[in-house]
Amino acid sequence: MNIRRIKYFIDLVECRNFTETAKKNYVSQTTISQQIAVLEEEFNIQLIDRKQIPIEPTKAGWLFYGEALILWKQYNHMKMSMENFQKYNTQSLSIEYAAMTDIQSLLKLIPSFQEHHPNIKLELNKVLLKDIAEYLLKGIYDVAIAFDSEFQGKEDIVTYPLYKGRYCAAVSHHHPLFHHETITKEELYEHPLVMLNPTVIGSSYHLMIQHAIEDGYQPNILRTADDVETELFYIITENLIGFFPDNYQLAYLQDKVRLIPLDDSHHTFAIEAGYLKNNTNPALPSFLQQIQIGFSNRS
C-alpha cells in the first residue's frame, strides 16, 4: 500500500472537501479522487459517501480513518527515528501526554537527562487521553504520561508513579461556593456539573462518575466539553462546577475561577509513566533510570 494514499484519506476526512485536500497536499483534485478510489478498490469497500456535501465517510470509512491515523503516526515515528540516527547518530524516545498537568513534574528532570544523555533525542506529543493506552500498545510512542486510570487492566503496560493528588472543585467567582475554603460532598452535589467529554478523556470520565457514586451521590452533569478551555467557559458563564487536578495551574484566571479542595471525597488521582514490557528501544532504560533517580531524590 502507498503510504501517501493514507495521508490523502486522513486529510479528506478532516477537510470534508476534495478541493481543500488537494490544496493541502499540493496535488490536483483528480489525484485525490483517484487515490481514494484506489484505496476503495484495494479494500473492496466504499469509504467515502460522495453524494454528501460536505463529503462524509461511510461507517467503513470511519473505521478505516481510525486505523489510518494509527498507521500514519507509526510511519512518522519510524521515519523520525531513522532520520535522527542517520543525521545526528542519536536515538529517539517518543513521549505522549494528554495535559500539561501530566508532564509538569517530569519537565524538571529533562535538563539533567539531556546533560547525561546528549545522544538521546526526546520527542513530546500531545494526544487525547482516551488514545493514550491504545497508542502505547500499538507501539506508536515509547512512553505515556497520564492518569493511572488509563493503564488499568493493561497487562502489557508497566507503570511508574510520578504524582498522587486529589481533584478540586473549579468554581466561578459568581458561584455561591466561591469563597469557601473547602467544599463538602453535600455542597458539591447540590449543584450542576460540567465534565470533559468521554470521547476525549475515555475511561477517566466513567471513573469520575464511579467516584461520585462512592461518595454517595449521582452527579448532575449538565454539560460536557471537548477541551479544558470550553469547560472553563461553561464554569464561568453558566456557573457550573468542574473537576480539576490539584496541581492544575489557573494563574491567568485566578480572579475568575478558584480550585477549592473537596472534603472527604473519593475524587483522587495518580499520574504515572507507562511503557510496554517488550519495548526494545535502547533509549528507554536510560530514561526510566532518570525518572527513578529524580523522583526518589524528591521523595
- Could you read off the pLDDT of 65-106 as tens digits, one per residue? 988 988 888 888 788 777 767 666 678 899 999 988 888 878
Q: Are 100 and 249 in contact (CB under 8 A)?
A: yes
pLDDT tens per residue across span 180-219: 999 999 999 999 999 999 988 988 899 999 999 999 999 9
Instruction: Indicate the class that CATH gives domain 3-72.
Output: mainly alpha
The CATH number assigned to the domain with range 91-148+273-298 reads 3.40.190.10
Fold of 163-269: D-Maltodextrin-Binding Protein; domain 2 (3.40.190)
Cell of 39: 484505496
Please give the pLDDT value at position 88: 61
How far apart are alpha carbons 185 and 217 in whole angstroms? 8
Residue limits of CATH 3.40.190.10 in the chain: 91-148+273-298
**In 113-263, which ranges are E strands?**
120-126, 143-147, 157-172, 193-196, 221-225, 242-245, 257-261
Residue limits of CATH 3.40.190.290 in the chain: 163-269
Cell of 195: 465534565
How far apart are alpha carbons 83 and 92 in whole angstroms? 10
Please give the pLDDT value at position 202: 85
Query: Closest by alpha carbon to 232, among 213, 217, 251?
Result: 251
How far apart are alpha carbons 279 and 266 in whole angstroms? 34
